[in-house]
């Protein structure tokens, strides 16, 4: 808590924000400049708030600020992150003190999820301690005045929709219980693929002929097959989610799985997008602790690996646990819902027809959604059987899957749990201002919808025409795999899943106490 005079505060920001054209007197969310010559005392202090942020990530290096890019100058031509410009805007608006600039930990800065290079968001929540006049929330519960003050220092492709009060213990990452993503696929890409595969206009109705409607039907079926609890180890970089790797990251960042498209320093979305398929990780690492006990015995030896040719999907069957490449609990994710829309356009004039794939879950891994899109499109285009997609979610299977372009992935919304109440159980000032759980209030929703319509949809429409899709269609057309190997992998994975399901039934019977010892032993012997 500190006390400053209005005149001193105004002069301070006039010198500090010399690059801004906004007069310091307009920074009304922190202090009001007195009209009289007498100095007016205003009590300021840190208050825990949640910033609802949306952005078109096309020109940014992801959301999260990189340690090597602190205190960058925004006119030096270097690429920066969304958090770089957001922190600078909050600072120039008076929400961060000089002593705390560049030290996000001092103000308890936390993000609900992270996005990779060129990925967009409509619902990123940043929790932080903001320097402000707490009385503003009594008359302005969604913090529209504060949001406006910050937006004056932001580019048009980054907006703060609302600044709402939260309890002191609120942490955006830990309190976020669900995330919803959209991915847009241009119909021009599907038509180009159909033509390259021999199913375009003028083709006969014989074997191999396809049309867009058939492809969309297959796409919806493949996409919805992801729903449920599965091992998505083949849809990410497996090593990032092993205990040994997370221990190395401890003290640097602990939210590896907070949201989709988490980017590491050594990897960007552009490099990953250029490749059609990624080679399975073969790095030797110490043994991790398995999250579930799964059947390991097989009735057949693993099939021989294919040669590493560009565009080739390679398979590997781990009949027994491999301590150098273990599948652990953190490789599993629960997908609550998957959906596929009818063809649509995002803008009225010149809109590119597309379909929207939606997915909801508690958390996602690095590149998981983009790998899910890539594999589902292979199935939809007839380049890969549906059964192989199911096999890819069996822990003993290793397979490299295509990675879809990043430019049309959007964090749609996020859900949060209820605020913690005081010991007396009475509603706090936070609940009276923001509700029992954090959600974007009505005026913030209006600002978000306007940003989506006027800024984000236009940017997404441009991304639907990006050269990425042309390059990726050429790469997907070259995808090949050994049919005999694929059939063997499908058979082994199917048998493994049957044994796993039967083991689950045995354990359930034991927990319920409804089975006698003889029946349990009989089933166990069969396994």
Write the pLDDT tens digit of every residue in 472-520.
999 999 999 999 999 999 999 999 999 988 888 888 888 877 555 555 5
Supply the pLDDT for residue 135.
81
| Residues ≥6 apart with Cβ < 8 Å to 192 | 469, 470, 473
Rounded CA separation 96/30 (Å): 10
C-beta of residue 400 within 8 angstroms of C-beta of residue 277? yes
CA dist., res. 336 & res. 285, Å (int): 32
- Residue by residue, pLDDT tens for the chain (527 residues) are 333 333 333 333 333 334 343 333 334 444 333 333 444 445 567 899 999 999 999 999 999 987 655 555 555 445 689 999 999 999 999 999 999 998 999 999 999 999 999 999 999 999 999 998 878 888 888 999 999 999 999 999 999 999 999 988 899 999 999 999 999 999 999 999 998 876 443 333 334 567 999 999 999 999 999 999 999 999 999 989 887 766 565 544 444 445 555 433 323 333 333 333 433 333 333 333 333 444 443 444 444 444 445 678 998 999 877 888 899 999 999 999 999 999 999 999 999 999 999 999 999 999 999 999 999 999 999 999 999 999 999 999 999 999 999 999 999 999 998 887 665 666 666 776 677 789 999 999 999 999 999 999 999 999 999 999 999 999 999 999 999 999 999 999 999 999 988 888 888 888 877 555 555 555 555 55
Q: Are 235 and 155 in contact (CB under 8 A)?
A: no
Check: CB of residue 464 under 8 Å from CB of residue 186.
Answer: yes
Comparing CA positions, the residue from 374, 296, 290 lying closest to residue 325 is 290
Of the candidates 116, 140, 182, 325, the residue annotated as catalytic is: 116
The model's pLDDT over 222-268, given as tens digits with 9 standing for 90+, comes to 999 999 999 999 999 998 988 776 656 554 444 444 555 543 332 33
Q: Residue 391: which H helix or E strand, with range?
A: helix 386-391
pLDDT given for residue 151 in this prediction: 97
Q: What confidence score (pLDDT) does residue 423 get?
A: 58
pLDDT at 260: 54
The residues near 431 (Cβ < 8 Å, ≥ 6 apart) are: 419, 421
CATH entry 3.30.70.580 includes domain 41-175+430-458: yes
Per the CB < 8 A criterion, the answer to whether 438 and 416 are in contact is yes
Contact 57, 119 (CB under 8 A): yes
Q: How far is C-alpha 166 from the chain's CA centre?
A: 23
Task: Tell me which residue has tokens 């989506």.
Answer: 452
pLDDT of residue 301: 45
Query: Residue holding tokens 């978000």?
Result: 448
Tokens of residue 459, six digits: 């940017």
Angstrom distance (rounded) from CA 328 to CA 241 = 8
- In our burial notation (b when 16+ CB lie closer than 10 A, e otherwise), range 320-356 reads eeeeebbbbebbbbebeebebeeeeebeeeeebebbb
- 204 burial via Cβ count (<10 Å: 0-12, 13-18, 19+): exposed
Q: For residues 110 and 124, is the Cβ–Cβ distance under 8 A?
A: no
In whole angstroms, what separates CA 498 from the centre of its chain?
32
CB burial class (10 A; 0-12, 13-18, 19+) of residue 273? buried
* Amino acid 134: pLDDT: 78
What does the pLDDT read at residue 41?
A: 44
Strand 2-5 and strand 41-55: pairing? antiparallel
Strands (E), 232-331: 315-317
Task: Look at residue 255 and give its three-state secondary structure.
Answer: coil
Active site residue 116: yes
What is the residue extent of each domain of the chain? 41-175+430-458, 482-527
Q: Which residues pair with 55 in a beta bridge?
A: 121, 158
Using one digit for the tens of pLDDT, what is the confidence trace for 328-367?
999 999 999 999 999 999 999 999 999 999 999 999 999 9
């Amino acid at each position: 808590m500190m006390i400053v005079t209005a005149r001193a505060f105004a002069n301070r920001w006039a010198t500090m924000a010399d690059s801004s054209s906004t007069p310091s007197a307009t920074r009304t969310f922190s202090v009001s400049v007195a009209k009289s010559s007498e100095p007016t005392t205003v009590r300021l202090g840190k208050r825990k708030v949640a910033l609802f942020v949306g952005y078109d990530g096309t020109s940014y290096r992801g959301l999260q600020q990189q340690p090597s890019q602190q205190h960058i100058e925004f006119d030096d031509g270097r690429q920066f992150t969304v958090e770089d410009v957001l922190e600078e805007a909050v600072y120039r608006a008076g929400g961060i003190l000089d002593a705390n600039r560049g030290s996000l930990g001092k103000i308890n800065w936390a993000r609900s999820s992270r996005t990779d290079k060129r990925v967009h968001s409509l619902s990123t929540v940043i929790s932080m301690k903001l320097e402000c006049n707490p009385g503003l929330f009594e008359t302005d519960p969604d913090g529209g005045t504060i949001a406006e003050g910050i937006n004056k220092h932001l580019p048009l492709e980054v907006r703060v929709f609302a600044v709402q009060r939260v309890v002191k213990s609120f942490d955006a990452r830990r309190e976020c219980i669900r995330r919803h993503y959209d991915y847009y696929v241009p119909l021009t890409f599907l038509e180009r693929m159909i033509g390259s595969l021999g199913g375009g206009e003028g083709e006969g109705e014989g074997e191999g002929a396809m049309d867009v409607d058939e492809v969309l039907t297959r796409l919806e079926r493949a996409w919805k097959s992801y729903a449920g609890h599965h091992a998505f180890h083949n849809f990410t970089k497996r090593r990032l989610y092993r205990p040994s790797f997370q221990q190395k990251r401890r003290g640097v960042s602990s939210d590896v799985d907070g949201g989709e498209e988490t980017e590491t320093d050594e990897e960007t979305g552009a490099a990953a997008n250029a490749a059609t398929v990624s080679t399975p990780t073969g790095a030797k690492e110490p043994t991790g602790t398995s999250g579930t006990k799964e059947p390991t015995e097989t009735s057949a030896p693993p099939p021989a690996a294919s040669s590493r040719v560009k565009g080739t999907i390679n398979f590997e069957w781990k009949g027994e646990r491999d301590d150098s490449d273990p599948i652990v609990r953190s490789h599993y994710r629960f997908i609550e819902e998957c959906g596929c829309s009818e063809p649509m356009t995002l803008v009225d004039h010149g809109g590119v027809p597309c379909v929207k794939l939606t997915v909801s879950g508690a958390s996602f891994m690095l590149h998981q959604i983009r790998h899910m899109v890539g594999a589902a499109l292979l199935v939809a285009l007839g380049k890969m059987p549906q059964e192989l997609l199911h096999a890819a979610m069996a822990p003993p299977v290793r397979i490299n899957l295509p990675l879809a372009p990043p430019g049309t992935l959007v964090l749609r919304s996020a859900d949060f749990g209820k605020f913690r109440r005081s010991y007396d159980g009475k509603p706090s000032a936070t609940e009276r201002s923001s509700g029992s759980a954090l959600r974007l209030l009505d005026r913030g929703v209006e600002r978000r919808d306007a940003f989506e319509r006027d800024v984000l949809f236009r940017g997404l429409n441009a991304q639907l025409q990006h050269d990425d899709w042309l390059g990726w269609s050429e790469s997907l057309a070259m995808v090949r795999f050994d049919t005999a190997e694929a059939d063997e992998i499908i058979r082994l994975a199917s048998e493994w899943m049957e044994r796993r399901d039967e083991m689950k039934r045995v354990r359930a019977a034991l927990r319920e106490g409804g089975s006698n010892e003889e029946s349990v032993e009989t089933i166990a012997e069969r396994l």
